[in-house]
């Protein structure tokens, strides 16, 4: 059976209230009693109820991290950065994976409020997440947005420079001679998709290449099978694209699978670039040309912004951190990559 606070109290010969005071670091306990209680806790293997202790201290020393797809290597690294920074500061992290589902996102936010976490880091599903975030503001729970802004919501934010990054990727493809460049992206209510489409269009405009709406295809970036199907549709156009810009490293899997289904080789038959690197895959075979973002740094900085809020070290002004991305040229775009 689970060891209780009463078991600890009985072992030492004190009241459960005394044990509770030791757990909550109250000064109203003698040093001798404190040592004996701590010894009994270690001997019995008692694990205090963190939620109950948090209610006493009005702080749980835990915060939630909500992401749309933990299987996406970008968000995996974001979580790792957040967890490491939280651990160093004496906090625990509760991870929630919404799978880009709005109903699930709302459920997780309600759960975090019920658990009385001290704050949250949120990579929102889309602009449609606004009502969920309002639950946090109404309950006075501080939070930081990661990667994605939410239209009409002014709060602390850590994001990448998606406009400039997309522009550089498309400029690189144009420099290689491509004019029919398709973009496999998310819906326009996701801020990163909007920004990357803007960068795409800016690159075309600068090169005097007409924008072709039929080359823009929206898909879910949680399921690469949907990106595969939309890429097949693009390849079936009467004038198919010669290059593909995938909005992230999940969508690019679908693009590659579609190319294989059509017996097309990358980069011999089509060029492919994407946002975000696939860290371990790139070490094994550096193939994809990418706009690499410092994903782990997103989590680290967002956690520090949240800790600043929790400690009262900042005023009410919104803080926005924009992290640059690096263009890494590899084989998939068809450029000549020097052998190192």
Same domain, 133 and 176: no
Same domain, 267 and 122: no
Residue 54 lies in a domain: no
CA–CA separation, 336 and 261 (whole Å): 26
Render pLDDT for 255-265 as a digit per residue (tens, 0 to 9). 999 999 999 99
Same domain, 98 and 144: yes
Number of domains making up the chain: 3
Write the CA distances from 51 to 108, 115, 153, 157, 315, integer angstroms. Answer: 17, 7, 30, 28, 28
CA–CA separation, 192 and 197 (whole Å): 8
What is 149-190 written as a DSSP string?
A: --TT--S-EEEE-HHHHHHHHHHHHHHTT---EEEEE--TTS
Same domain, 234 and 272: yes
Residue 168 lies in a domain: yes
CA–CA separation, 306 and 314 (whole Å): 10
Write the CA distances from 191 to 126, 132, 136, 160, 290, integer angstroms. Answer: 7, 17, 20, 11, 19
Same domain, 242 and 303: no
Q: What is the largest CA-CA distance in the chain?
A: 84
Residue 10 lies in a domain: yes
Query: Of 227, 334, 230, 252, nearest to 74 (Cα)?
Result: 252
Write down the mean pLDDT value for the chain: 89
If you average pLDDT over residues 4-16, what whole number do you get? Answer: 88
Residue 57 lies in a domain: no
221 backbone dihedrals φ, ψ, rounded to 5°: -100, 15
> And the tokens for 18?
């005394």
Same domain, 286 and 169: yes
Render pLDDT for 54-91 as a digit per residue (tens, 0 to 9). 545 556 789 999 999 998 899 999 999 999 999 999 99
Give residue 1's pLDDT: 64
CA–CA separation, 217 and 228 (whole Å): 11
Direct distance between the N- and C-terminal alpha carbons of the chain, in angstroms, rounded to an integer: 60
Place of tokens 């639950």: 135
Same domain, 313 and 243: no
> And the tokens for 17?
């209230």
Q: Which one-letter DSSP state was computed for residue 213?
A: G
Residue 56 lies in a domain: no
Render pLDDT for 257-312 as a digit per residue (tens, 0 to 9). 999 999 999 999 999 999 998 776 666 566 899 999 999 999 999 999 999 999 88
Residue 338 lies in a domain: no
Same domain, 206 and 288: yes
Same domain, 169 and 277: yes
Pick from 26-35, 138-147, 242-251: least confident: 26-35
If you average pLDDT over residues 1-7, what whole number do you get? Answer: 81
**Domain, as residue range, for 30:** 5-48
> And the tokens for 90?
């004496």
Q: Which residues are CB-neighbours of 52 under 8 A, at least 6 positions away?
A: none
Query: Would you mind telling me the total number of residues written for the chain in this entry?
Result: 340
pLDDT exceeds cutoff 90 at 41:
no
Q: Decide if 211 contacts 183 (C-beta within 8 A).
A: no
Render pLDDT for 209-220 as a digit per residue (tens, 0 to 9). 999 999 999 876
Q: Which residues are CB-neighbours of 89 under 8 A, at least 6 positions away?
A: 303, 307
Residue 271 lies in a domain: yes
Q: In the sheet where 216-218 sits, what is the strand order?
A: 216-218, 181-185, 243-246, 271-275, 289-292, 326-328
> And the tokens for 120?
């949250």
Give me the CATH number covering residue 300: 3.40.50.2300
CA–CA separation, 155 and 107 (whole Å): 21
- Cα angle: 76, vertex 80, 82; to 5 degrees: 115
Same domain, 141 and 36: no
Give me the CATH number covering residue 27: 1.10.260.40
Q: Decide if 30 contacts 21 (C-beta within 8 A).
A: no
If you average pLDDT over residues 3-26, what whole number do you get? Answer: 85
Residue 200 lies in a domain: yes
Same domain, 122 and 136: yes
Give residue 340's pLDDT: 47
Same domain, 82 and 131: yes
């Amino acid at each position: 059976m689970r060891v209780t606070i009463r078991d600890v109290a009985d072992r030492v010969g004190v009241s459960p209230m005394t044990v509770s005071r030791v757990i909550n670091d109250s000064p109203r306990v003698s040093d001798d009693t404190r040592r004996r209680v701590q010894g009994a806790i270690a001997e019995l293997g008692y694990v205090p109820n963190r939620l109950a202790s948090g209610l006493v201290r009005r702080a749980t020393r835990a915060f939630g991290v909500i992401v749309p797809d933990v299987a996406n290597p970008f968000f995996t690294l974001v979580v790792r950065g957040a967890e490491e920074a939280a651990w160093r500061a004496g906090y625990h992290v509760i991870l929630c994976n919404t799978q880009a589902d709005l109903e699930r996102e709302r459920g997780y936010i309600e759960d975090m409020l019920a658990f009385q976490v001290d704050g949250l880091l949120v990579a929102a599903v889309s602009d449609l997440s606004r009502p969920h975030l309002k639950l946090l503001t109404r309950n006075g729970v501080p939070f930081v947005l990661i990667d994605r802004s939410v239209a009409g919501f002014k709060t602390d934010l850590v994001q990448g420079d998606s406009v400039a990054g997309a522009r550089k990727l498309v400029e690189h493809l144009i420099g290689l001679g491509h004019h029919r460049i398709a973009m496999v992206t998310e819906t326009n209510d996701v801020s990163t998709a909007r920004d990357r489409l803007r960068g795409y269009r800016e690159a075309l405009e600068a090169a005097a290449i007409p924008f072709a709406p039929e080359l823009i295809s929206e898909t879910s970036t949680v399921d690469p099978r949907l990106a595969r199907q939309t890429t097949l549709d693009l390849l079936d156009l009467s004038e198919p694209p010669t290059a593909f810009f995938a909005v992230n490293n999940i969508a690019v899997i679908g693009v590659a699978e579609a190319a294989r289904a059509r017996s097309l080789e990358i980069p011999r038959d089509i060029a492919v670039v994407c946002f975000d690197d696939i860290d371990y895959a790139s070490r094994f075979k550096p193939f994809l040309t990418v706009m690499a973002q410092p994903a782990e740094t997103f989590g680290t900085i967002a956690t520090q912004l949240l800790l600043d809020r929790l400690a009262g070290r900042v005023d009410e002004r919104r803080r926005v951190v924009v992290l640059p991305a690096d263009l890494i040229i590899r084989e998939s775009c068809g450029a000549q990559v020097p052998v190192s």
